[in-house]
Amino acid sequence: KNQVEQSPQSLIILEGKNCTLQCNYTVSPFSNLRWYKQDTGRGPVSLTIMTFSENTKSNGRYTATLDADTKQSSLHITASQLSDSASYICVVSDRGSTLGRLYFGRGTQLTVWP
């Protein structure tokens, strides 16, 4: 069964600190993995995309890693800001269908305190 598991479920950190969010998946055949940021009451917005051959990709203070062998990904946030408070969702796409089906994790709810 294709699944995406994220941890932790929620996380509270102080402004300026770093944090790492985890994503494990069983989706096969694998196409790509995206990290989305979803602010409260809004739709998700893509932060990074990782394909099979990529190990690390950065987008400003966000750095995503992918280990395709162990089917694990992480999202590292550096020097957190209050605006980073949101839900971070790991989304894995398969390549076994025309749709390119998206599989969503439940998200990690990050709260940054001043």
**Measured from the CB of residue 16, what is the shortest distance to another protein in angstroms?**
27
Q: Which CB, 22 or 31, lies closer to another protein?
A: 31
CB of 20 to another protein, least distance (A): 20
Which C-beta is closer to another protein: that of 99 or that of 114?
A: 99
* Residue reference for tokens 């966000």: 62
Backbone angles phi, psi at 36, to 5 degrees: -115, 150
Contact 52, 30 (CB under 8 A): yes
Q: Which amino acid is at 77?
A: I
DSSP state of 84: G
Q: How far is the CB of 8 from another protein (least distance, A)?
A: 13
Decide: 33 and 54 in contact? Cβ < 8 Å.
no
Q: Which residues bind another protein (CB under 8 A)?
A: 4, 31-32, 34, 41-46, 49, 51, 89, 91, 93, 95, 98-102, 104-107, 109
